[in-house]
Structure 1
Amino acid sequence: MADQEQTEDLAQLLARLKDHYGVNDSEIARRIGVAPSTVNSWTNRLRGGKRGVRPGSIRALAAAFPAFTEDEIAAAAGREAPGPLSAEAEARVIELYRSLTEEQQRVAEAQLRALNDLNRAGN
């Protein structure tokens, strides 16, 4: 997240989202593929911030409710927004991966898994 001061937390953003779209926790959960209890915990500040909202959930919220951007949702959750992945970038990564030896592919996969685990832990 940028060095700007956060003025809205995830619970507040979700309140605006519900008002804007006329949805409840269960409908948000259905649209983004998480349990209603997950959204309820975000709404009630039981879970949120770096440890509570995964990058995939941020992307899903932005996709399902486009009036709210990934950057805006991530900032409210106290996270950095997931980086964009265009079709061209994905093709470049796959081409690079294909050029690696089998052992190098295992190492690259382990490194990517470790980075993903760090993101899930909120580090």
Structure 2
Amino acid sequence: MGQQPNELTPDAGPWHRWGYELRQFREARLLSQQALARRALIDRSHLGRFERAERPVPKHAAITLDDILDAAGALVRGWDSAEREAPRIALSRCPEPGQRLMGPVHGAMGPAPRRPWP
């Protein structure tokens, strides 16, 4: 039995709406994330993060997913719209001034913070 999917929040912003639409197309085709990820040659965890708007979606991934899901360009148009409305950097939690951008949204954790010597 698969994991219970997280509830999506399409009204939270354009990338959340795109992720919601991706899930709707995937579920309409009766595909699991794993099955779609295999077909699209995308890591399953990335696909889940795309759906939850936790990871930037490369345009080539949107094109591939649109093609596999036979979405007739809807996912590509949605990607274009989301890119215009909110750049992909907006997927992350907005950092405080002076705070480093780190975490899965940006793909690297960066160097460990330096600790002052006692």
What TM-score, normalized by structure 1, do the two folds share? 0.47
What TM-score, normalized by structure 2, do the two folds share? 0.49
Give the structure with the larger helix fraction.
1
